[in-house]
Amino acid sequence: MRADGLYEQFRLVFEKFYNPLCKYANSFVKEESVCEDIVQEVFVRIWETRKDLIQSDSLRFYLFTAVRNNSLTYLSREQRLPVYSLSEMDLEDNDAIAEMTPSSEETVNYQALLGQGIEQLPPKCKEVFLLSRMGELSNQEVADSLGISVKTVNNQLWKALKLLKAFARSAGSWILIFL
């Protein structure tokens, strides 16, 4: 029989993480409906096979890692390239700032602009940033999830911050932040 309290807890977890997980999946897989399917499948599987995870501290870590793996599996099954892959990594490319150019009409909507900036982050940098920010995973968890060192996570986060700050500045939108 279903333990109703646990199911309720499961529902709350679903409501909390569904959107960030879909967005995370969406950073790999373009089709939004596929992203939703992937995330729903992960939840169904947790309920069916790993109920113990629902109350565990590592749930978030598990969710994001599972969504990531399933997204990449989907892409490889579909013989498609991921939006980005982890292998072709660029730890220090300072040219990236130059490549990131905000579109001129977007000077007012700072949030949309920053969203654009995140989109344009270099691949690995973007993944580390999304995982840290959406999943609220610790640096150690992000490192474990991606199979990289904690030091690299820290570096990539710094890089993301630097690029986003530069991006916002070049759009001349600092005023808006400090309003």
Q: Which one of residues 2, 4, 92, 94 is an interface residue with another protein (CB under 8 A)?
A: 2
- Joined together, the tokens standing for residue 58 give 């590592």
Contact mark string toward another protein, 82..101, x via CB under 8 A: --------------------
Count each helix (H run) and each strand (E run) in the chain, helices first: 9, 0
Q: How far apart are CA 128 and CA 145, in angstroms?
A: 10
Q: How far apart are CA 43 and CA 134, in angstroms?
A: 17
Q: Which one of residues 38, 53, 125, 130 is an interface residue with another protein (CB under 8 A)?
A: 130
Q: Minimum distance from CB of 79 to another protein (Å)?
A: 26
Q: Which one of residues 11, 30, 50, 80 is an interface residue with another protein (CB under 8 A)?
A: 11
Query: Smaller CB distance to another protein: residue 75 or 128?
Result: 128
Q: Which stretch binds another protein (CB under 8 A): 50-58, 72-80, 95-103, 158-166?
A: 158-166
The DSSP string of 37-50 is: HHHHHHHHHHHHH-
Taking the chain, what is the end-to-end CA distance rounded to the nearest angstrom? 54
Q: Which stretch binds another protein (CB under 8 A): 56-64, 67-75, 84-92, 154-162?
A: 154-162
Cβ–Cβ < 8 Å for 64, 129: no
Query: Smaller CB distance to another protein: residue 43 or 74?
Result: 43
